[in-house]
Chain A
Amino acid sequence: MSHAPRTTAATAASLLLLLTACGGGGSGGSGGSAGSGDDAFEMTFANFTEAAPLFRVLHTNLDDVLAKGESGLDVSWYDNAGDPAKMTENAQLMVQAQPDAIVMYPVSAASQGISQILGDSDIPCVSVNLDTEACDFLNIDNRALGEQTAEIVGGIAAERGWDASNTTVIIGQNAAAGEQVNDCVRYFYTTIAPLLGMDEVDPTSITPTTTKIGANAVQFDGASTLQPSFEAVSNLLPSIPADNHIVLYTVNNDSTAGALRALEEAGRGGDDVLLIGGLGGDETGITALREDPRWVAEGDIFVAWWGAYAAAMAKAVAEGAEPPADVTPLPQIVLDKDTVDEYHAAGSAEVSKLPPLVEDNEFLDESGVLAYVRKVAGL
């Protein structure tokens, strides 16, 4: 019994030590990036998750760039961990920190709760990829990505004589990610269907619970990740005619890679039977676009630079810029085998050029952040 206070004190000390050792690594405001003195522009940035490569790169890339000089930005990072509850907690913590601007990458389209928290704070905020009512919206155009990829893939398929009589389109959604994210796959189908003479459907009829689309397409839920996509597609394959050609397109390259493994495992991944449209512009996609004859298009969304664009937008908005009412576009382009080297350094996935700013995002230059990022990164 007399040991209890000592034990408690020792436990408390150990916990304190552990917390000190782990300081800054948690979800709550992990260390600032490239702070530059008292007059630095302070920004809090809540990332979708630090656990998935697709999202983590927003953080690491901005950190790398800002670490190289006096950007005037001091960014504190928060990890939403793909969890709506954590996102809400982070919104409160970020408001509490009273930064000059907030960037939120929401984990769910149901963002009313954080919208209220952020709106009440009157701190300028930018919402990335998913709309948050109280914030200005920065996003890619998923519909355009799907349509442009379908035009490339569909054109090649049609040239090869693939049509409704001998082809199945497999599209992979992320049912839990919301309508905007899945626009790419549904508009992919609605664009490729007439090119290959398949059943034409209204895009709005393709929902998260849709599994069969017309007579020639199936939709699976790969949750944007490798393993569920592998399992879903390997389970689906027996229901697809064995001698059909296959066109594969999903919401991201992790999901596509999982689906591709399943097709290869089942012996249905041959160069002459499979065409793939990628989405992401990551190393997987860029390498495959260069080297894999089946991978004929890649929706390049320059995700690594989203952090920089979001930071530029947040600073510009805080300094009085007026963004478009609906959405400020992120950089994007659909690459094919002929154009891939225009945007990526030869032999690597490193971005060598970003698409030029367009009318709706030209104001991003006003903050100076984007110009700094481009200069430091040599773009």
Chain B
Amino acid sequence: MSSTTDTPAPDVSATTGTSEARRPRRLSMSDGALQTLLLFGFLVVIAAYFTSQNSNFLTTRNGLNILINVGVIGIVSLGQLLALISGGFDLSVGGIVPLGAVSFALLVNAGYSVPTALLVVVLLGAASGVVNGVLIAKARINPLIATLGTLSVTGGLALTLADGVQVPFADVSAGVLTRRSLFDINNHVWIFLGLALLMFAVLRYTSYGRQLYAVGGNKQAARLAGIRVDLVTVSVYVISGALAALAGAVLASQLLTGSGTAGTNSGLQSITAVILGGASLSGGVGGVPGTVIGVLILGALSNGMAILTVPSFYQTMATGAVLLLAVGLSQYRSARRSAS
């Protein structure tokens, strides 16, 4: 099996012992590596531009600032990456993040320890993911409709649990998830980086990773090759839901408050980051390095525009433009793959 930096090539035969299934599309190693390098180059260009405009951009403190701000959306994006690789996407994270935030705040305020509260919150997110996965894999409901539905349910549940008000931590020490630790870097940044490494390894070196790319590349072929497509699909949404709930707990720790309205944009932001990072809306493509860089690009843009005091309306337009750019790139890559 050849490997690429950003788009591990699915090799169904290696997973299933058969080569009868149509081989999913494959990018050469240089293509994937080049893509990631180009993306990194784009990040460097952005950083260079903002630095040229304001010397405060390229400082250690501001770099950490960007990492702190992208930590939450980064965790969500890792789950979203799996959904996109599998050929779907998960809009429900926009409801699961606030649900996780509110649930976490309520649990720690009720006297549960942070690890227990975190476990419950992650299980809650995973349960939401099970619903998504079953609706998509078994009931054959389009991911757009299925996750839009659970977005409304989980978002509404978050507001209901919070009774429409903010839920401040009774004990601020419960904000341990975002406290600074090793190298004066916040815990949630380490959590994000650790999860990214773990997911990179899973996607690149395990049969589950290969199966996921195979399912996203061609479901029918994957099924014929003996892959349990439904199980893989459900697992993707379970992981995405669990990570979104974890991100919600992190967000609550960051704000020291659970809010039913916080993190509601995470669906769009995470999809933007993942597609910008090289994933395709048609599935089967994408990787962790690209996603991490995609998240950093969004964070750097937001941070840089704030430092340059760009009005918020223009910042919104710029974010939309990045999404369009990302989708355009995705389409271009798809067209190139088809042509080759």
Contacts and interface: CB of A to CB of B under 8 A. Distances in A.
B192 interface: no
A230 B261 contact: no
B261 A235 contact: no
Interface in B286-313: 302-303, 305-307, 309-313
A137 B205 CA distance: 66
Contact of A230 (B59, B165, B255): B255
Max chain A CB contacts within 10 Å: which of B65, B263, B307, B310? B65
A254 B166 contact: yes
A244 interface: no
A234 B69 contact: yes
B312 A237 contact: no
Max chain A CB contacts within 10 Å: which of B61, B163, B165, B263? B165
Interface residues of A, number: 34
Nearest to B167: A53
Nearest to B162: A53
Contacts of A234: 65, 68-69
B266 to A, nearest CB: 10
A55 to B, nearest CB: 8
Given A238-B56, A254-B166, A227 B262 contact: yes
Given A225-B261, A226-B262, A261-B255, A237 B65 contact: yes
A131 B260 CA distance: 28
A170 to B, nearest CB: 12
A278 to B, nearest CB: 14
Given A50-B164, A51-B164, A254-B166, A226 B255 contact: yes
Given A230-B254, A239-B56, A266 B65 contact: yes
B312 A175 contact: yes
Given A56-B165, A261-B255, A235 B69 contact: yes
Nearest to A258: B255
Interface string A200-225: 00000000111110000010110001
Report the contact-size class of chain B (Cβ under 8 Å from the partner): 35 or more
A65 interface: no
Max chain B CB contacts within 10 Å: which of A175, A212, A232, A234? A234
A211 B309 contact: yes
B257 interface: yes
Contacts of B62: 238
Interface string B153-170: 000000100011110100
B309 A212 contact: yes
A226 B313 contact: no
Max chain B CB contacts within 10 Å: which of A53, A234, A238, A257? A238
B69 A231 contact: yes
B164 A53 contact: yes
B57 to A, nearest CB: 7
B95 to A, nearest CB: 12
A232 B306 CA distance: 7
Contacts of B4: none
A15 to B, nearest CB: 13
Contacts of A379: none
B251 interface: yes
A236 interface: yes
A129 B251 CA distance: 31
A52 interface: yes
Nearest to A218: B309
A238 B61 contact: yes
A236 B307 contact: yes
Interface in B256-295: 256-257, 259-263
Nearest to B97: A227
Interface string B245-258: 00000010011110
B307 A51 contact: no
A362 interface: no
Nearest to A59: B164
B255 A209 contact: no
Interface string A312-344: 000000000000000000000000000000000
Given A238-B62, A261-B255, 9 more contacts: A51-B164, A51-B261, A208-B313, A211-B311, A212-B309, A239-B54, A239-B309, A257-B255, A265-B68
20 contacts: A53-B166, A208-B313, A220-B312, A225-B261, A226-B259, A227-B261, A227-B263, A230-B255, A234-B65, A235-B65, A235-B69, A235-B303, A235-B305, A235-B307, A236-B306, A238-B56, A257-B257, A261-B255, A261-B256, A266-B61
Interface of A: 50-53, 56-57, 175, 208-212, 218, 220-221, 225-227, 230-232, 234-239, 254, 257-258, 261, 265-266, 284
Q: Which 4 A-B pairs have the closest CB atoms?
A: A235-B306, A221-B312, A211-B309, A53-B165
